[in-house]
Amino acid sequence: MDTPSDISDPTQWLETPLSLLAPLESALRCQVCKEFFNNPVITSCCHTFCSICIRRCLSAEGKCPACRAPDQELKLRRNWAVQELVDAFQTARPSVLDFSTKAAQQAQVEEREQPVNKKRKVAPVEDMQTSEPRPERRRTRSQGHYPQPEQHAAIDTVPEVIEDSQDEDEYIPEHGLVACPICNRKMKEEAVFSHLNVHEESPKKAPPNSSFGPLRAPQKGLVLSGKPPERIPAINYSILKENALRKKLSDLGIPNWGPKQLLHKRHTEWMNLWNANCDSKIPKSKRELLQELDIWERTQGGLATGPSPFVSSSNVMRKDFDAKEWSSSHDDDFKRLIANARKKAGAKIAPATETAPTPPEPLVNSSLAEPNIDTDADHVIDLSG
């Protein structure tokens, strides 16, 4: 495996006796980004994705990526249970994987020491996949197979690991958070005192419910969490003039430079980032979101290099260059350049400039600059060679 160790992957389980955890881990990952669910939300068709992933999908296509049912971002609902599953799994993952990997290595070492029993390497996997996964049975078998003391040691650690996560009274899913002494809701340390006022004002609203145990506390807290940040509503970009849109962006406190299409894309991305953040248990600050928007700007927005429609780059010479998209995204540029050229050259030469506007860069191939620029790409492109 040349995968860097900091990138986790469900297939890491496959090499270990706990190979059945691979599908479990896959189920805890978003089908779009393949990462663990981050602020999972559920669609009207009951599929779960990261909030930001499904928002980006819906603003691109308006359909659920899993089943193609039409859906709207307004109908997305948080899926806290999944978030808790992911948090708990991620907390347990390093130690379980470590334990399981060590067990696998140990089995290999023993195999080298005792090459008689060929079944051993296969046995754990077979056990796990073909019969019901009963670790006890496998353990009994392996104990029977390898009575070495090392093996006993490894086996004996199994209950220990489980105990670690179950018996801990102060179960803390997120680092750096402390529990409210009254309702057990997890929060930043500095937020506890102001939070306590809530209980003073309405002491009966949050009675400690110990019957569920400390593990249930986070969910209760989530339900009670204060007023969420206000969501940004969607805009119908087609009815909004460029200047109005530009103003909207500056009102939101995000960059407002670039052509209208870029303003539109930036607003959509900001809306998605913002509204996904509203689904978060621990919302990020606006500054962090602005940093994320800045990353978007550099990778997919106006500062992106490579095949972005907003950026002048050498991709116009590629054979797969999309002239239609180019001409629409640069429509304003073309118009402005034509206007400038007309102004300079005067009425006499105007007809000529119409057929040869100066493009933003030396891309052309006169055919692209012809007035029929808005017609179908088939007729326009002839950039062969």
Residues of this chain that bind other proteins (CB under 8 A) = 1, 3, 9, 11, 14-15, 31-34, 53, 56-57, 60, 65-66, 68, 299-300, 304, 306-308, 319-322, 324, 377-378, 381-384
Sheet holding 48-50, edge to edge: 48-50, 40-42, 77-78
> What is the DSSP pairing of strand 177-179 with strand 40-42?
unpaired
Shortest distance, CB of residue 149 to other proteins, whole angstroms? Answer: 32
**For other proteins, the closer CB: 29 or 141:** 29
Phi and psi (nearest 5°) for 41? -130, 155
Alpha helices (runs of H) in the chain, residue ranges in sequence order: 21-27, 51-61, 80-113, 119-130, 135-145, 149-166, 192-201, 217-224, 242-252, 260-278, 286-299, 323-329, 331-345, 350-355, 377-380
Shortest distance, CB of residue 266 to other proteins, whole angstroms? Answer: 15
Which among 23, 20, 17, 22 is positioned nearest to 155, based on CA atoms?
17
Shortest distance, CB of residue 358 to other proteins, whole angstroms? Answer: 24
Q: Measured between alpha carbons, how far is 160 from 162 in angstroms, rounded to an integer?
A: 5
**For other proteins, the closer CB: 15 or 333:** 15
The amino acid sitting at 38 is: N
**For other proteins, the closer CB: 57 or 180:** 57
Answer whether 80's CB lies under 8 Å from 222's CB.
yes
Angle at 254 between CA 73 and CA 260, to 5 degrees: 75
Answer whether 204's CB lies under 8 Å from 227's CB.
no
Token pair of 385 as six digits: 């060679």
Buried (b) or exposed (e) across 349-363, using 16+ Cβ within 10 A? eeeebeeebebeeeb
**For other proteins, the closer CB: 9 or 242:** 9
Burial label for 176, CB within 10 Å (0-12, 13-18, 19+), is exposed
**For other proteins, the closer CB: 35 or 354:** 35
Q: Measured between alpha carbons, how far is 86 from 173 in angstroms, rounded to an integer?
A: 10
Shortest distance, CB of residue 2 to other proteins, whole angstroms? Answer: 9
Shortest distance, CB of residue 167 to other proteins, whole angstroms? Answer: 35
**For other proteins, the closer CB: 42 or 192:** 42
Shortest distance, CB of residue 60 to other proteins, whole angstroms? Answer: 5
Shortest distance, CB of residue 384 to other proteins, whole angstroms? Answer: 6
Shortest distance, CB of residue 304 to other proteins, whole angstroms? Answer: 7
Token pair of 275 as six digits: 């509204």
**For other proteins, the closer CB: 352 or 377:** 377
Q: Measured between alpha carbons, how far is 12 from 151 in angstroms, rounded to an integer?
A: 22
**For other proteins, the closer CB: 118 or 319:** 319
**For other proteins, the closer CB: 1 or 116:** 1
